[in-house]
Structure 1
Amino acid sequence: MPPRTYREPVALTETERAILAFEAEWTRHAGAKEEAIRRELGMGPARYYQLLGRLIDTAEALEHDPLLVKRLRRVRDERVARRDALHA
């Protein structure tokens, strides 16, 4: 029997974990999402979405919260497909 291999812990930054947590529960925040991003994370919406877009393509994010990341990828892919279909 081969020896067991142990994986290193997922290495997400505090900001990356906060972004994923916020995205998982943003509907529970009062007010508009953009206002909640500024208030809760201290960054502008453009920066938030830029970081989120990069983050959901990482193996670390997928391992941290697979259901959320798969859902966000699916939503993004559907949006891109609709946009491409409109411009085809």
Structure 2
Amino acid sequence: MEQGDDEAGGRGLGRRERDILALERRSFAGPGAKERVIREELGLAPVRYFQLLNALLDDPRALAHDPVTVNRLRRIRERRRGER
């Protein structure tokens, strides 16, 4: 087993967490394209994906792994919270 693959005990991010961050770095054309990729590539329902992503944004391991993506998504999340 590769270091970080054990989501509970590994020091790094697990494969699923890394895959989620990688998907967030991509751009998608057209409505529904991202949701389709979430289902097909990650095997997750979009609602579950966004729950995992939101938790991941608060994980210091995610920030260490991909600070640019995590900080960008944190800014978006904070802006949306402010709009509510």
TM bucket normalised to smaller: 0.7 to 0.9
Partner of 1:37: helix, strand, or coil? helix
Report runs of 4+ in structure 1 exceeding 4 Å deviation.
none
- Counting matched residue pairs gives 73
Which TM-score applies when normalising by structure 2? Answer: 0.80
Structure 1 position 67, deviation (Å) = 0.5
Partner of 1:81: 82
Residue identity in the other structure for 1:13: G
- In the alignment, the residues of structure 2 paired with residue 52 and residue 38 of structure 1 have an alpha-carbon distance, to the nearest angstrom, of 14
Residue identity in the other structure for 1:39: E
On the 8 A contact 1:10/1:63 being kept in 2, the answer is no
Q: Which has the larger radius of gyration?
A: 1
Which TM-score applies when normalising by structure 1? Answer: 0.76
Provide the identity percentage. 51
Partner of 1:67: helix, strand, or coil? helix
Residue identity in the other structure for 1:41: L
Gaps of 5+ in 1: 1-8, 84-88
Q: CA RMSD in A?
A: 1.7
How far does the alpha carbon of each residue in 1:42-64 deviate from its partner, in whole angstroms, 9 at most, with x for none? 11000000000000111100000
Partner of 1:22: 23
Gaps of 5+ in 2: 1-9
On the 8 A contact 1:12/1:60 being kept in 2, the answer is yes
